[in-house]
Amino acid sequence: AGKRAFIAGVADDNGYGWAIAKSLAAAGAEILVGTWVPALNIFESSLIRGKFDESCILPDGSLMEITKVYPLDAVYDCPKDVPEDEVVESVKKDFGGIDILVHSLANGPEEVAGSVKKDFGSIDILVHSLANGPEVSKPLLETSRNGYLAALSASSYSFVSLLKHFAPIMNPGGASISLTYIASERIIPGYGGGMSSAKAALESDTQVLAFEVGRKHKIRVNTISAGPLRSRAAKAIGFIDMMIDYSLANAPLQKELSAEEVGNAAAFLASPLSSAITGAVVYVDNGLNAMGVGV
Ligand code: NAI
């Protein structure tokens, strides 16, 4: 209770980011979110129109409140990186108690961390729940250099950049969490475009960053290797139903993974209950990672 979380990568109520926000809210945290600029208007209007009201209901019957939504583009670090035609005027809306900065001059992690600092002073929990690989549907062998680098930029370096800029405003004892996928370490045909490489980088960086921010800021860094979920991003890859069926058939626990189960694991990793866990890849996948063969 009394903790403040910034969750990067929430643009609807279907993904892991939303579920993590709910689990953290249920545990008493204040919720700030970072939403990708191209998805911001739809997310904002859906929030305002009450489209997510039902999805906001917490286990105790109360409603999750999102204190503030920040526009975020995690492929830009600072204002000078933002292309001219993506720079938009700052407009502030206040609607139904939700304070939304519709657009800002720049939306990179440096700018957003600066805004959060100005608005709230500090945070305790940083969640990275975002990924993007423009060539994800292409095999690695067919992936262009630009596609590969774009996957790494949006899905791996984005975490380095967020942590770099948020760590100085995180209270000691704070925690950061990202989401990864087993395609980093095992062959998952169809998870292409350099996304498997991006997740491998994210997992390796989890260790190095755990050391660096552990020593410097007393902050923990962990990543959740999540099983398949029918999110917007996953549907775009095109093989999500197959992955869910495969898990149902082969995992030790034969049930569909709910986003809430990942949310609850994230709440644990963000809480003092996990105060000695850092630099870890934590599997939340019904145990599928432990299987050596399909059955
Ligand atoms: P999602 O669609 O809910 O979340 C992805 C978010 O990333 C979206 O909100 C999108 O707007 C945002 N985003 C993309 N590029 C961005 C950028 N440049 N700057 C800021 N935001 C950007 O989908 P999902 O699946 O919940 O993804 C969340 C995380 O979970 C990702 O890291 C994903 O790789 C990971 N994951 C998902 C699995 C699944 O089966 N859905 C399995 C294992 C990991």
Model confidence over 9-65: pLDDT tens digits?
999 999 999 999 999 999 999 999 999 988 998 999 999 999 999 999 999 999 999
210, part of any domain: yes
292, part of any domain: no
Q: Which residues are within 8 A (CB) of 76 and not within 5 positions of it... i.e. 6 or more apart? A: 82, 106, 107, 108
* Binding-site residues, ligand 1, Cβ < 6 A: 9-11, 14-17, 36, 39, 72-75, 129-132, 154, 179-181, 226, 228-229, 231-234
Give the nearest ligand 1 atom to 181 CA: 43
What is the structure's pLDDT at 102? 46
Reported as a single tens digit per residue, the pLDDT across 193-219 is 999 999 999 999 999 999 999 999 999
Residue 32 DSSP label: E
293, part of any domain: no
User: For the residues 164-177, what does the mean pLDDT come to?
Assistant: 98
- Cα angle, residue 222 at apex, residues 244 and 122 outer, rounded to 5°: 120
Taking the centre of ligand 1 as the mean of its atom positions, its distance from the CA of residue 148, in whole angstroms, is 17
Distance separating alpha carbons of residues 109 and 114, to the nearest angstrom: 8
Closest Cα to atom 38 of ligand 1: 228
294, part of any domain: no
273, part of any domain: yes
Which domain CATH number covers 213?
3.40.50.720
Active-site positions read: 181, 191
What is the structure's pLDDT at 99? 47
Give the nearest ligand 1 atom to 233 CA: 2
Which domain range does residue 122 map to? Answer: 4-287
Question: Number of structural domains, the chain?
Answer: 1
What is the structure's pLDDT at 81? 74
Closest Cα to atom 3 of ligand 1: 15
Reported as a single tens digit per residue, the pLDDT across 68-104 is 999 999 998 877 776 666 655 444 444 444 444 444 4
Read off φ and ψ for residue 196, nearest 5 degrees: -65, -40
Cβ distance 248 to 215 under 8 Å? no
Cβ distance 70 to 35 under 8 Å? yes
Q: Which residues are within 8 A (CB) of 295 and not within 5 positions of it... i.e. 6 or more apart? A: 249, 250
Reported as a single tens digit per residue, the pLDDT across 246-265 is 999 999 999 999 999 999 99
264, part of any domain: yes
Distance separating alpha carbons of residues 9 and 270, to the nearest angstrom: 17
Q: Is the pLDDT of residue 165 over 70?
A: yes
Taking the centre of ligand 1 as the mean of its atom positions, its distance from the CA of residue 164, in whole angstroms, is 20
What is the structure's pLDDT at 89? 44
228, part of any domain: yes
What is the structure's pLDDT at 91? 43
Q: Which residues are within 8 A (CB) of 111 and not within 5 positions of it... i.e. 6 or more apart? A: 78, 79, 104, 105
Residue of higher predicted confidence among 105 and 283: 283
Neighbours of 247 (CB within 10 A): 21
Taking the centre of ligand 1 as the mean of its atom positions, its distance from the CA of residue 36, in whole angstroms, is 10
130, part of any domain: yes
Task: Write out the two tokens for 253.
Answer: 């626990």
Q: Which of 111, 231, 262 to mutate to test the pocket of ligand 1 (most atoms within 8 A of CB)?
A: 231
Percent of the chain with pLDDT over 70: 91
Taking the centre of ligand 1 as the mean of its atom positions, its distance from the CA of residue 91, in whole angstroms, is 26
